[in-house]
């Protein structure tokens, strides 16, 4: 597990994680969206990484440009120059991971590796900027996450899909000592689980589960929470992080800030 006294986990809890920045008046996952969130005092940005044809890590949630730019092109089929030529609202572009890390040197980044091809380019970008201690690497795909951690040992990470499934299975075990042992095995090396509050009718986040995870040194971060009442309720359950599209609201409701919402 990554060093909790400094690095990514060194900030105060509960944490506000700006989901793709603050896209109230900016395209998501752009430098402007990140700047808007950081200007409010947010220390954590959640973002996503794909790879271009020439193996550069670029920030984007989607694998293609349809939703943001109205273009039927896949990022993996374009080189960096072509990606940079795409203009988004507010004259923004898709930044590279290295550009974002370099532009905001005091910000901690939660990086979702969306595809296996993004692993090596993302690792190279993190190394180039020297950001190993202020990033958390995650992926729904456990293989991608493990590969990234082999290349960046000691970097903070949260559980992949398989770890969350293992966590839920362990929760069914009635014997406390055995249950905690299975939890540790399922979440080995992970400093956090990042989950929705519920999946269908299955409740994932409960006060009891949060407390048990805390006892084994694992934080609970919940996504994607945009309503102030839900933010306060989840913090009341003991969660350590709120992943939100509305960082402007969360800095008031969760972090106790005084910034006015945009």
Q: Which residues are tagged catalytic?
A: 19, 61
Asked if residue 195 lies in contact with residue 164, where contact means CB atoms within 8 angstroms, the answer is yes
- Helix H or strand E segment including 251: helix 247-253
Q: Write the CB contacts of 16 (distance below 8 Å, at least 6 apart in sequence).
A: 42, 43, 44, 241, 242, 244, 247, 250, 251, 254, 255
* Phi (first) and psi of residue 194, to 5 degrees: -120, 110
Instruction: Please tell me the distance from the alpha carbon of residue 196 to that of residue 19, in angstroms, as a whole number.
Output: 13
Among the residues of 15-173, which ranges form H helices? 31-39, 66-69, 80-84, 97-103, 119-129, 142-151, 161-170
Please report, in angstroms and rounded to a whole number, the separation of the first and last CA atoms in the chain: 37
Q: How far apart are CA 18 and CA 247, in angstroms?
A: 5
- Measure the CA–CA gap between 130 and 112, rounded to whole angstroms: 18
The span from the CA of 31 to the CA of 15, in Å, is: 21
Both structure tokens of 70: 């109205």
């Amino acid at each position: 597990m990554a060093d909790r006294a400094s690095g990514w986990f060194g900030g105060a809890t509960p944490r506000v994680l700006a989901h793709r920045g603050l896209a109230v008046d900016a395209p998501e996952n752009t430098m402007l969206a990140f700047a808007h969130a950081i200007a409010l005092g947010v220390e954590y940005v959640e973002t996503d990484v794909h790879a271009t044809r020439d193996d550069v890590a670029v920030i984007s949630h989607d694998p293609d440009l349809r939703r943001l730019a109205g273009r039927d092109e896949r990022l993996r089929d374009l080189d960096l120059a072509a990606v940079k030529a795409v203009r988004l609202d507010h004259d923004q572009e898709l930044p590279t991971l290295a550009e974002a890390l370099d532009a905001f040197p005091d910000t901690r980044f939660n990086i979702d590796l969306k595809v296996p091809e993004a692993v090596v380019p993302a690792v190279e970008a993190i190394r180039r900027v020297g950001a190993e201690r202020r990033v958390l690497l995650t992926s729904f795909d456990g293989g991608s996450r493990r590969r990234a951690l082999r290349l960046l040992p000691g970097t903070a990470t949260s559980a992949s899909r398989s770890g969350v499934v293992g966590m839920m299975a362990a929760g069914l075990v009635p014997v406390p000592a055995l249950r905690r042992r299975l939890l540790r095995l399922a979440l080995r090396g992970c400093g956090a689980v990042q989950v929705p509050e519920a999946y269908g009718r299955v409740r994932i986040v409960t006060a009891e589960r949060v407390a048990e995870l805390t006892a084994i040194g694992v934080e609970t971060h919940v996504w994607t929470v945009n309503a102030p009442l839900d933010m306060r309720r989840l913090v009341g359950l003991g969660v350590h992080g709120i992943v939100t599209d509305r960082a402007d609201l969360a800095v008031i409701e969760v972090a106790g800030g005084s910034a006015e919402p945009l």
